[in-house]
Structure 1
Amino acid sequence: MSREFWRRRSLRVRDDQRTKAAELTLRDSLYPICLVTILFFLWGFSYGLLDTLNKHFQTTLDLNKARSSGLQVAYFGAYPLASLGHAAWILRHFGYRAVFIWGLFLYGLGALLAIPAIMHHSFAGFCVCIFIIGNGLGSLETAANPYITVCGPPKFSEIRINLAQAFNGIGTVVAPVLGSYVFFVFDDETALRNVQWVYLAIACFVFLLAGVFYLSVIPEITDADMAYQAAETHADAADRPFRKQYRLFHAAFAQFCYTGAQVAIASYFINYANETRPDTDPALASKFLAGSQAGFAIGRFGGAALMHFVKPRIVFGVFMTMCIVFGAPAITQRGDAGMSMLYVVMLFESICFPTIVALGMRGLGRHTKRGSGWIVAGVFGGACVPPLMGAAADLHGTGFAMVVPVCFFLGSWTYVLAVNFVPSYRDTVDAFSTTDVGLREREDGVVEAHDGGAVSKGDMETGVADGNKPGVVNMEKA
């Protein structure tokens, strides 16, 4: 009994085997999706806390805007190291659950190390800790975004990831509200002490959650499962070598531009409100940021609902276009008008990140795990764009500096045009939106395979299938 208990919780997975994960129904995927969604809240909270600390450290440590963006550079600069390096290696050699545990461990370690850095008022030390946390969160995003996308019927993948990311939005609301009450209303020493307690609580929670992931039995989705899904949709997109997956690299570029713009706006929102709106102190501006993040979260719920009736690529196109339309006036407008423009921009930003992930992974098949790392690596834009905006803000003010994120929104818009109007992009995306894989099970408890064979659910659940069984994808041929 004990041996079976630990065998079922093994972290090693064979990617050349089909499992039942390729045909998970909505009911089968409910528990793992709920568990992984907790991770989305965690990095939303961490991201929102970072935006608040950006302004807090400007005040307490006497930093200019460009230097305070070191937090964003450390945080998002860690993402490529995780998504293309250590997390990608663990994902391909072990599986999703192993990456979840690894990411949570790094997150907790960084949070614990942040406490002595804060005690010694070391901004450089705190940036190192944020870099470790960024590696943890980059690992979690490398696994969680594709897992949510592929865990369940592929027809609803954009809806699933946007609903899960909505809890990320809730985390970004909670963090600024917390910051407005525990950072800005106390003297500097008390505020820094409160930051220490926040990071201690984070560390305790994530270590506990890592234990829950280890003890939980959740479906592992293999490369063979993804090759099966790609074949079933008849998208004809997965047979090319990885270097020729040009749609993937375009999605990664769009993610770089979009994430950079989003992070830059959120990072300097408090500065924008403080400078352009009369009688707005940092505490009040932090509450305004929380309000804009609430609109961000609402937008994700609303966008996910719209995708049930309108093709996700069309919803994505409208939302990204509105980011540009309303972002441009924020460059010249001031006071309530300018801040209102940013509120609307953050509402329409809501679905862009997760939808780029979902659309960019369409048709990757056996390249899904590797490809997801490239899209998540696009988050590195969050390390590049804020310093540019910070330098512009130091020279010309935060209002005029809004020209920087608007330019990067335009870069991301190239993917919007491609996915809606270029046939090779559009047809692959639409093929996955109409497939019925995972929507129903055969009454005899057997799931059909694309090569004409069949695999019993029992074999799929236990993972005993091998390359000689009918219905199992041989990855050398895939």
Structure 2
Amino acid sequence: MKIFKKNSLKISDNKRTRAAELTLRESIYPICLVTILFFLWGFSYGLLDTLNKHFQVTLNITRSRSSGLQAAYFGAYPLASLGHANWILRHYGYKPVFIWGLCLYGVGSLIAWPCILHRSFGGFCAAIFIIGNGLGSLETAANPYITVCGPPRYSELRINLSQAFNGIGTVVAPVLGSYVFFKHTVDDVASLKNVQWVYLAIACFVFLLAVVFYFSPIPEITDADMAFQAEETHAGTDVQPFKKQYRLFHATFAQFCYTGAQVAIAGAFINYVSETRGDTDDPLAAQFLAGAQGTFAMGRFVGVILMKFIRPRYVFLLYMTMCIVFISPSITQRGNTGMAMLYLTLFFESIIFPTIVALGMRGLGKYTKRGSGLIVGGVAGGAVVPPILFAVADLRDSTATAMAVPLAFFIAAWSYTLCVNFVPAYRDVADKFTTTEVGITNAHAHDEETGVGAGGVVGKEVKESPAETEHIDIEKS
């Protein structure tokens, strides 16, 4: 059968596969397949926020100690995005990283099963660390893949639309937690046993999905493809050494600060509501968290629509500014007013992460894979900021007061938003990609021969001799 042929997991980065010129129609299947991954880590992330509070009650641990879940989960991200996953991405390609990440996710889920059964918080943190490595690997490949797979001018729309399914996953997990983990049982240990079946189901599903990815002919995108795309848009900055890619480093810093603030707010949401809103128990607070995550998902869909008519950097500026505006009152307000401020904050958080990824990768050309690892590595902020927030909450005995911590990190991330909109060196690169016709008009004009491209791309492929490829690489270095 044809599907069992040509499933090589390695492709040369020196060779163009014409994937940088995919049209909208050609990019639909790979984008849909990769979007499934966004739902998976959204579900895992939402589940973590729910379990955070539940472990505080079941195991009688402090808020700061329970934040070890977030520390283990997000602390694994830089190990993946800057280490093993990025190495696989640069030496083999996107598909092998997808398969590797799914396998790690499955292994971690299997390990979580006995740890939950025996109420081992340390063991569960270890399982979450392995899961974090798997999801960090998936994010290392999936975020840049969605950004570059298809016409460049729609990259922000694509990644925000895919990330919207991440938001749906974060809604489903708290709902599941409130109705399965917390309710219909008077025994906290019995409620934890319910969780183990969820992780077993996750393991089975992701192993099956890894097989699907292996046999799926998704297009592979090489450094040569990205160098071509950057050159065609006249926005390439890869003529400079990697150490001079200042826009990339600023985007990584913004990602670190923003993700840390987002994770801290979500992780503390149940505590915040149960403390500040009278007669609110944990199951009800978990349902409120599901509602807040629903506004988060809605914010992404609204953001995608706005970006269709307004330049993405303008929408980015609006959303980031509103995060600062609405998190501030939550520090002093209580009850429904304070909770409403967090709802609005989550709505405007929605597009920030994927938009930083898309804008930060603009013009990186042959540095795209390396740069994507750095930006995704910024997710490590999720391991740093929550412990700070919970430490302040324990010190002040108030989660509301501790919301000053994510406010400070939002302000730090805002610096990148301002530069993208008002500093020419940032703004011009973003705008050139927004107006490019690559992948829209005269698609594959630079291809020479019809055939099957590397990585399973059906269509046209550039054929170069090894000598010609080497010549091109020397010129671009």
TM-score band, normalised by the shorter chain? over 0.9
Tell me the distance in 2 between the aligned counterparts of 1:472 and 1:308. 39
Deviation of residue 237 (structure 1)?
1.5
Q: What residue in structure 2 maps to residue 106 of structure 1?
A: 104
Q: What is aligned with 1:303? A: 303
Report the counterpart of residue 272 of structure 2 in structure 1. 272
- Tell me the TM-score normalised to structure 2 length: 0.96
Does 1:456 find its partner at 2:457?
no
CA distance in 1, matches of 2:244, 2:450: 35
Task: Tell me the TM-score normalised to structure 1 length.
Answer: 0.96
Deviates more, 1:114-123 or 1:70-79: 114-123
Residue type at the aligned position of 1:152? G
**Cα distance in structure 1, aligned partners of 2:224 and 2:356:** 23
CA distance in 1, matches of 2:407, 2:17: 44
Which amino acid in structure 2 is aligned with residue 76 of structure 1? F
* Moved segments of 4+, more than 3 Å: 4-7, 459-464, 467-473
What are the within-5 Å matches in structure 2 for residues 28-177 of structure 1? 28-177=26-175
The AA in structure 1 aligned to 2:321 is T
Structure 1 residues 30 and 471, CA, compared in 2 at 3 Å: closer, same or farther?
A: farther
Match of 1:315 in 2: 315
Query: What are structure 2's unaligned runs of at least 5 residues?
Result: none
Partner of 2:14: 16
The code of the aligned residue for 1:328 comes to S
Task: Report if aligned partners of 2:18, 2:462 keep a CA contact under 8 Å in 1.
Answer: no
Give runs of aligned pairs for residues 172-183 of structure 1, distance below 5 A. Answer: 172-183=170-181
- Alpha-carbon distance in 2 for matches of 1:238, 1:89: 20
Q: Is the 8 A contact 1:466 1:472 kept in 2?
A: no
SS of the aligned residue for 1:458 comes to strand
Letter in structure 1 aligned against 2:56: Q
Deviations 1:364-423 (A, max 9, x none): 000000000000000000000000000011111100000000000001000001000000
Contact 2:14–2:469 at 8 Å: present in 1 too? Answer: no
- CA distance in structure 1 between the partners assigned to 2:335 and 2:386 by the alignment: 22
Instruction: After TM superposition, give the deviation of residue 459 of structure 1 in Å.
Output: 6.0
Q: Output one character per residue of 1:39-67: Cα deviation in whole Å (capped at 9) or x when no partner.
A: 00000000000000000100000010000
- Relative distance call for 1:22 and 1:469 in structure 2 (3 A) is farther
Structure 1 residue 467, shift from structure 2 partner: 4.2
Q: How far did 1:183 drift?
A: 1.2
Contact in 1 for aligned 2:35/2:162 (Cα 8 Å): yes
Query: CA offset at residue 469 of structure 1?
Result: 9.0
**In 1, are the aligned partners of 2:15 and 2:469 still within 8 Å (CA)?**
no
Counterpart Cα distance in 2 of 1:313 and 1:106 = 35
1:103-139 deviation digits (Å, cap 9, x = unpaired): 0000000000001111111100000000000000000
Offset at 1:457? Answer: 4.0
Cα drift, residue 212 of structure 1: 0.4
Q: Residues 18 and 473 of structure 1 are in contact (CA less than 8 Å); yes or no, is this contact kept in structure 2?
A: no
Indicate if the aligned counterparts of 1:467 and 1:474 stay in contact, CA closer than 8 A. Answer: no
- Structure 1 unmatched runs, 5+: none
8 A contact 2:316–2:355 mirrored in 1: yes
Q: Name the structure 2 match of 1:210.
A: 210
Checking the alignment, whether the CA contact within 8 Å between 1:44 and 1:167 is kept in structure 2 is: yes
**1:191-249 deviation per Cα after TM superposition (whole angstroms, max 9, x unaligned):** 11101001000000000100100110000000000000000001142211111101000
What is the distance in 2 between the residues matched to 1:164 and 1:71?
Answer: 26
Out of 379-388 and 5-14, give the one that drifted further: 5-14
Q: Distance in 1 between matches of 2:137 and 2:464?
A: 29
What per-residue deviation string (whole Å, max 9, x for no partner) do you get for residues 175-204 of structure 1? 000000111112212111101001000000
Where 1:127 maps in the other structure, the secondary structure is: helix
After TM superposition, the structure 1 stretch with the greater mean CA deviation from structure 2, 224-233 or 5-14, is: 5-14
CA gap 1:202/1:473 in 2 versus in 1, 3 angstroms: farther
C-alpha separation in 1, matches of 2:162 and 2:212: 19
CA distance in 2, matches of 1:392, 1:385: 11
Structure 2 letter corresponding to 1:301: F
3-state SS of paired residue (1:308): helix
Partner amino acid for 1:405? Answer: P
> Taking structure 1 as reference, are residues 42 and 473 closer, same or farther at Cα in structure 2, changes over 3 Å only?
farther
Cα distance in 2 for partners of 1:37, 1:202 equals 16
Summarize the Cα distance change of 1:473–1:318 in structure 2 as closer, same or farther, 3 Å threshold: farther
Partner of 2:407, secondary structure, is helix
